[in-house]
Chain A
Amino acid sequence: MNALQLVSTLLKIALVLGVVLGIGGALTWNDRRMSSMMQDRIGPNRAVFVLPPWLARTLFAAPAFLVAGALAAWAYLSPAPASVAASVRATERILITLELSVLVAWIGLAALTARATRSSPANGFERWLASTVRDPRNVFYAGLAAHVLLIPARYAIAGTPLSASLKPILFTAGPVLLAVVVAASALYAASLVPATGFRLRMAGLMHTAADGLKMIFKEDFVPKNGDRLLHSIAPMFGLFPPLVVLAVVPFGDVLCLAGGKVAGVVPSAGICTDPASSVTMQVLDLDIGILFIFAMSGAGVVGAALAGWASDNKFSLLGGLRAASQMVSYEVTLGLTLVGAFVVYNTLRLDDMVRWQGENAWGIFVQPVAFFLFFAAATAETKRIPFDLPEGESEIVGYFTEYSGMKFGMFFFAEYLEIVTSSALLVTLFLGGWQLPFLHRDGLTIAFGDTVLLHYGMTHLSVTLLQVATFFGKVVLVCLVQAVIRWTLPRFRYDQLMRLGWRTLLPLSIANIVVTAIAVLVVQSSPGAANVLELLGDLTQGVVAAAMIAAVVALVLWALKPVTRAQTVLSSSAELAQAQGGTRATPMQA
């Protein structure tokens, strides 16, 4: 192992752990918030730190000025390539900096307009926003229109002398513009900090951190007749598997470092194989990747079963029994479901599976039945509603009934980590992993069959960064879907769960294997099928791309929709309070 590998491995571990713990924390926050609604108590979103104004201003301004300074230094110190107009790197630098500047200004203006229209405007500029722009959606439409107009304009001047003379200027001006926009936004934000102090809320995400601290300092209770050793080991068995499973999940394509390839365009086919000069976006590169995952996630049951046994509590025992039988049953389906996928992908390596999906079509289109079966089985493995029988808090309270403090916290957090793990697996196996539609190693190529509609070259580094961001973005989305399922569906009964697992999911997964094998044989033996399939695969990429754009637009419009809060019945006490000038804002005195 050379120095590059050592450093990159440590960095990758830090990245994966950071992202996973972050998502896990956000999921904890989500559950805390929902359960606070249920119990009619104040939720985490009310947790707040009051920062003194000088500190808040510094926190806003200092990082932004550091970024802006770095951008400015980059703009002046980096040498321009010999031919700016011909260099992909230069074009990309111009494009990214300009786009980011527009994006920061765009989001900032929309947020400011929303703020100015919802509460009282702070200054003349905000009054103008509130009176003239009126709706944050107008800002969004204007930004969209600007892009729609600018892209043809860019293609119109491409290759003309105007473009050749503009590019060297923009090569320096782009980063400077971005620096100015970032600094200006930060200054504006700092100027809005009220003199009474800034209330740092972050939607209550810090509450999760406080929860963790609280757990550590709570009493560690072990039942009198419980098995002390097993009782203490069980949470470790619970937390360990979901963490190590993530080690083999690839979150990006191989990054080639040899010969300045990072800043240039690499060919779309072929990957660099020299371990000395390439970095795999995967903590542990295993040939048997998927088998390692099965082995490890199967070990997760040991923690629950041990906890149920060692607690000396009948409720815990029932929970441990349920956990053991449920996870053993669903492990079978989980494994058999993927055999069909192995037949299609023709590999056990996770990164090769993702590459196959990028070249052909995403797994959800190739193996739709397997996708749903795997989703169901994976949800069962995470022990969440509708499969949360080992916990079943209204029935048997759960296998961790006798746990307190950080031991309980470990079980609790392991559950959220399992969500992240199963989402990551789902994304890798069926949702294209790090792949974006039409994005290849050499850039964006929109092609159906042999007809190339658009090709846009991108440097190796930006393609890789985009892939990593895509992977984690997909994981967050699937986690969100799992959270929605958890809060909507009722839970199964124990025998219904077993029936579903053994009589429905298992036969379906076996049928899936047979059908897949026959289909693969048919395709391999008919000569013309490959071309048709390739076209179909490209079509699915187009469908996914269109769906993604539509989803983003819908999401933004939904988020910017003005909120109207109509109260059906306004009580007379509320009316009275309003007439008296509202309720008192000062805290109550004891």
Chain B
Amino acid sequence: MEPIDQEVDETTLELPSDPMQLLMGPSHPAMHGTVRIVLDLSGETVVRADVQIGYLHRGFEKMCERGTWSQCFPYVDRCNYASPMLNNVGFALAVEKLCGITVPERAQYYRVVMGELARMADHLVCTAAMCMELGAFTPFLWFTRAREMIFDILEEETGARITHSFARVGGMAQPPTDHFKPAIRAALPAVLASMEEGLSLVERNRIFIDRTADVAAISGQDAVSMGWTGPCLRSAGVPYDVRKAHPYLVYDRFDFDVPVGTRGDNYDRFMIRMEEIRQSARIIGQALDQMPDEGPVRIDDRRYVLPDKDEVYATIESTIQHFKIVMEGIPVPAGEAYGFTEAANGQLGFYLVSDGTGTPWRVRIRPPCFPIVSTLGRLITHRMIPDIIPTFGSLNMIGGECDH
């Protein structure tokens, strides 16, 4: 599927032509308002592509240095607005690594289940948007319907549909609700059914395959050297998944597969996400079976965890503790730590430096889609304008974390 006029040498033409410069975005339907691509075009073929990010830069890292550790959670939520729960958990794990604390088992399972739900939602959004930008509208509706069921559960648990801010250093904000397990067990088959229905419309669709297969392919070696992680790297055939390679939480207790692709093209990236949704459902099923119904979801350490409200109102010790945590922040010991987890887009790292006060001295995020987007220009050069759309869609750029 090479572009038809690729062999034409512009300089030998009777009427040599200059490439046309086209500014695509940020106000462009497929650029999500967060990125601009400056294209040099020969006909519809991209001769040179300059991807310019930064339209969603809000100084997240600097903002973190101004509040307490707990106040960073809303910021990390907004870094990835497609799966904020995974960012929450990732940040909490990094801070806990610095503090040297381990959360109770029930909280670990709770984090796994909520995180995997968020991963499913993220993949569904990404694939739905990719289908819709290719013009296939019905799969978008099926995928969005599936995501809506997941959001209902997350809303039920956390009170917020998107920006939950639900994780805490030392556990989760609230224990699971009474209908946590039954609701997920009821919803998961419906989510998968809706997803498969949407997938069946594009999986063997000739037009969809022509548009995505062999478009913007990358080799595993190139992907690794560009710093790719996550579904995009696995689609290139490299079976690296933080959950398997460096198990955290209780991921070593589950039986799940890491899907890998063979060609690293748009179709592989799409299908890898679909398969990961199925694997996430497997993990959730096992986690629900193993998760204890009783037990705390926060550690019993007053230095890190806010006391219960009725205690705050009743005892002077708890009032003081509450005051100290809110006003000064939790006492994270001086030092540095790099915590990394498998977010929906790939490896999400937080490099934290603490000077022993209640405020982070430095928070550095390693967003998964920053290295991936940095390759976008190379992927779309010498391809056609329509190829930009599925490529950009399958890379799943999230402006919030990409722009730090």
Contact = CB atoms under 8 A, between A and B. Distances in A.
A571 interface: yes
Contacts of A532: none
Interface in B149-167: 149, 152-153, 155-156
B156 A493 contact: no
B38 interface: no
B271 interface: no
B205 interface: yes
A489 B207 contact: yes
B137 interface: yes
A34 interface: yes
Nearest to A322: B44
A498 interface: yes
Nearest to B21: A314
Contacts of A318: 44, 385
B207 A314 contact: no
A389 B210 CA distance: 15
Contacts of B156: 569, 571-572
Nearest to B141: A37
15 contacts: A318-B44, A394-B30, A394-B132, A394-B389, A395-B389, A397-B28, A487-B137, A490-B131, A490-B134, A491-B386, A493-B210, A494-B44, A568-B152, A568-B187, A569-B183
A385 B207 CA distance: 11
- Main DSSP-derived SS at the B contact region: helix
Given A490-B205, A490-B207, A494-B384, A393 B4 contact: no
A386 B29 contact: no
A354 B98 CA distance: 82
Interface in A392-439: 392-397
A386 B387 CA distance: 15
A388 interface: yes
Q: Select the residue from B138, B207, B211 with max chain A CB neighbours within 10 A.
A: B207
B135 A493 contact: no
B361 interface: no
Interface of A: 34, 37-38, 314-315, 318, 385-386, 388-389, 392-397, 487-496, 498-499, 568-569, 571-572
Contacts of A488: 136-138, 201
A39 B119 CA distance: 23
B22 interface: yes
B250 interface: no
Contact of A568 (B44, B134, B149, B385): B149
Nearest to A392: B386
A382 to B, nearest CB: 14
Nearest to A397: B29
A392 B134 CA distance: 9
A250 to B, nearest CB: 35
B140 interface: yes
Contacts of A491: 134-135, 207, 211, 386
Nearest to B390: A490
Contacts of B190: 568
Contacts of B4: 495, 498-499
Contacts of A498: 4
B186 interface: yes
Interface in B193-211: 201-202, 205, 207-208, 210-211
A489 B187 contact: no
Interface string B1-42: 101100000000000000010100000111000000000000
A499 B207 CA distance: 13
A341 B155 CA distance: 60
Interface in B375-400: 384-389
A205 B98 CA distance: 62
B133 interface: yes
Contacts, number: 96
A569 B186 contact: yes
Contacts of B177: 572
Q: Select the residue from B132, B135, B187 with max chain A CB neighbours within 10 A.
A: B135
B269 to A, nearest CB: 16
Nearest first, the 10 closest Cβ-Cβ pairs linking A and B are A491-B135, A490-B134, A394-B133, A569-B152, A490-B136, A493-B386, A394-B30, A487-B137, A490-B135, A385-B135
B140 A38 contact: yes
A386 B388 CA distance: 18
Contacts of A394: 29-30, 132-135, 389
Given A314-B22, A571-B156, A492 B30 contact: no
Contact of B385 (A385, A395, A489, A490): A395
A489 B210 contact: no
- Main DSSP-derived SS at the A contact region: loop
Given A394-B135, A571-B156, A386 B386 contact: no
Contacts of A493: 1, 210-211, 384, 386-387
Q: Select the residue from B140, B141, B201, B385 with max chain A CB neighbours within 10 A.
A: B385
A568 B186 contact: yes
B384 A388 contact: no
Nearest to B177: A572
Contact of B30 (A34, A395, A571): A395
Given A395-B386, A569-B187, 4 more contacts: A394-B132, A569-B152, A569-B186, A571-B155
A314 B389 contact: no
B210 to A, nearest CB: 5
A392 to B, nearest CB: 7
A388 B135 contact: yes
B208 A490 contact: yes
A571 B153 CA distance: 8
Contacts of A393: 29
Contacts of B186: 568-569
A451 B136 CA distance: 50
Given A395-B30, A489-B207, A490-B205, A386 B135 contact: yes
Contact of B153 (A395, A494, A569): A569
Contacts of B141: 37
A496 B210 contact: yes
Nearest to A396: B385
A311 to B, nearest CB: 14
Nearest to B383: A493
Contacts of A34: 137
A569 B161 CA distance: 14
A568 B140 CA distance: 20
Given A569-B149, A569-B156, A492 B207 contact: yes
Contact of B3 (A38, A495, A568, A571): A495
Q: Select the residue from B3, B4, B134, B201 with max chain A CB neighbours within 10 A.
A: B134
A43 to B, nearest CB: 13
A239 B394 CA distance: 38
Nearest to B23: A314
Contacts of A389: 386
Interface in B104-157: 131-138, 140-141, 149, 152-153, 155-156
Nearest to B137: A487
Contacts of A494: 44, 384, 386
Contacts of A315: 22
A490 B393 CA distance: 14
A490 B44 contact: no
A490 to B, nearest CB: 4
A314 B149 contact: no
Nearest to A492: B207
A578 B388 CA distance: 48
Q: Select the residue from A494, A499, A571 with max chain B CB neighbours within 10 A.
A: A494
A489 B389 CA distance: 16
A307 B138 CA distance: 30
Contacts of A499: 4
Nearest to B178: A572
A312 to B, nearest CB: 13
Contacts of B138: 487-488
A314 B20 contact: yes
Contacts of A392: 135, 386
B152 A489 contact: no
Nearest to A314: B22
A490 B201 CA distance: 10
Q: Select the residue from A37, A388, A392, A395 with max chain B CB neighbours within 10 A.
A: A395
